[in-house]
């Protein structure tokens, strides 16, 4: 059995976004994983749906960042004010965290992750942007 932790999931997610290559994160998803965002009405259900979404999103960012540096996404490892490992997403300006991402891990797989308004969770930043 894998010993995947929430911190491992956050690091894999950050690496995926910082490289704009999602595959190493996607293999960590349970088949019935769920993804929800406070900015999107419906949550995604299934590793396949999440993979399709992330691949398309990263392709768009990669294309746009070539011509507009403010489109570049960077993801930092951190913790919520409650100590939960998470990832903080920035786009354009490095100092402004636009989203916090928290993970739920069970039996060695990511079963859920949520993109949240960072002010709701608090941001304990580390300055670590894994690549």
Q: Which of 11, 51, 3, 15 has its CA nearest to residue 31?
A: 51
pLDDT at 41: 85
Task: Check whether 7 has a pLDDT greater than 90.
Answer: yes
| 57 within 8 A of 40, measured Cβ to Cβ | no
Q: Which of 82, 84, 91 has its CA nearest to residue 113?
A: 84
Is residue 3 packed enough to be buried (19+ CB in 10 Å), middle (13-18) or exposed (0-12)? Answer: exposed
Q: Look at strands 109-116 and 44-45 and give their pairing.
A: unpaired
Of all residues in the chain, the percent with pLDDT exceeding 70 is: 97
- Cα distances (Å, whole numbers) of residue 73 to 5, 34, 52, 84, 122: 24, 22, 18, 22, 20
Least confident of 8-12, 69-73, 127-131: 69-73
Q: What is the pLDDT of residues 52-105, one digit of tens each?
A: 999 999 999 999 887 887 788 999 999 999 999 999 999 876 678 899 999 999
Task: Check whether 1 has a pLDDT greater than 60.
Answer: no
């Amino acid at each position: 059995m894998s010993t995947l932790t929430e911190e491992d999931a956050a690091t894999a997610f950050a690496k995926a976004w910082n490289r704009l290559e999602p595959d190493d994160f996607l293999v960590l998803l349970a088949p019935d994983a769920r993804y929800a965002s406070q900015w999107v009405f419906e949550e995604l259900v299934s590793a396949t749906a999440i993979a399709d979404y992330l691949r398309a999103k990263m392709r768009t960012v990669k294309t746009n960042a070539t011509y507009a540096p403010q489109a570049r996404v960077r993801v930092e490892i951190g913790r919520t004010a409650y100590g939960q490992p998470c990832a903080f997403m920035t786009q354009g300006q490095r100092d402004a965290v636009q989203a916090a991402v928290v993970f739920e891990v069970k039996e060695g797989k990511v079963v859920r992750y949520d993109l949240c308004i960072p002010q709701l969770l608090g941001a304990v930043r580390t300055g670590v942007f894994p690549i």
